Amino acid sequence: MKDDGQSPTALDLPMVRPLPDAIRKYFDICTEKLGLVPNVLKAYAFDIDKLNAFTAIYNNLMLAESGLSKLEREMIAVAVSSLNRCWYCQVAHGATVRELSGDPVLGDAMVMNWRVAALTPKQRAMLEFAEKLTLASSRVEETDRQALRDAGNEVERSTDMARVQAILVRPDRGELEAGPDPRGGAGAGRHP
């Protein structure tokens, strides 16, 4: 992994040096597949145990087999990140929605206001649920879960939705505090 010398966050927490072999290999795979190591991973590299915990749960929820497609999980990620105004995650997950869907308009609409995107009723119900979990989780009721089922979202899908939403809300809050910049370096916070 190339080290550009810039801290990935405004907190200036240096990565462990040298990186353990497994982390270095993981970062090399990121560079090979993505062209970079996401700043969110670099930001955790000051504490390898925290990095390992984050990547394990993130990879399980976002990449493993699920009742949700990878595109649907990324759509949730964009909606949640947009609600939290996490610029870093809007850029990263918005790009993934564009790539997975092959539809740049969908990715951009998701970032700006998912409600204007061309969505299926099942996807719309999924994002309404993710939005309520993000903005008012204590107000989720059986009628919200029933609306998911009525739109064709089985129990496994709704459980996966809640878990994906949860893994994204927590980093968004941390990213806003740490100030990672999707362009590299730190200091972006909530706005470009």
When comparing pLDDT for 142 and 154, which is higher? 142
What pLDDT sits at residue 73? 95
Whole-Å CA distances, 100 to 73, 84, 109, 114, 191: 11, 23, 14, 16, 25
Domain membership flag for residue 155: yes
Q: Tell me: do 109 and 78 sit in the same domain.
A: yes
Domain membership flag for residue 10: no
What pLDDT sits at residue 167? 81
What pLDDT sits at residue 8? 58
Q: Decide if 66 contacts 59 (C-beta within 8 A).
A: no
Does residue 173 carry a pLDDT above 70? no
Q: What is the CATH number of the domain that holds 165?
A: 1.20.1290.10
- Asked whether the whole model's pTM tops 0.85, one would answer no
Q: Decide if 73 contacts 62 (C-beta within 8 A).
A: yes
Does residue 11 carry a pLDDT above 90? no
If we measure between CA atoms, which residue out of 101, 96, 141, 142 comes closest to residue 120? 101
Main-chain phi, psi angles of 186, to 5 degrees: -120, 175
Number of domains in the chain: 2
Q: What domain range includes position 156?
A: 70-178
Q: Tell me: do 96 and 150 sit in the same domain.
A: yes
Q: What is the CATH number of the domain that holds 43?
A: 1.20.5.810
Q: Tell me: do 85 and 141 sit in the same domain.
A: yes
What pLDDT sits at residue 41? 85
Structure tokens belonging to residue 171: 């980093």
Q: Tell me: do 81 and 171 sit in the same domain.
A: yes
Domain membership flag for residue 52: yes
Q: Tell me: do 129 and 158 sit in the same domain.
A: yes
Q: Tell me: do 149 and 83 sit in the same domain.
A: yes
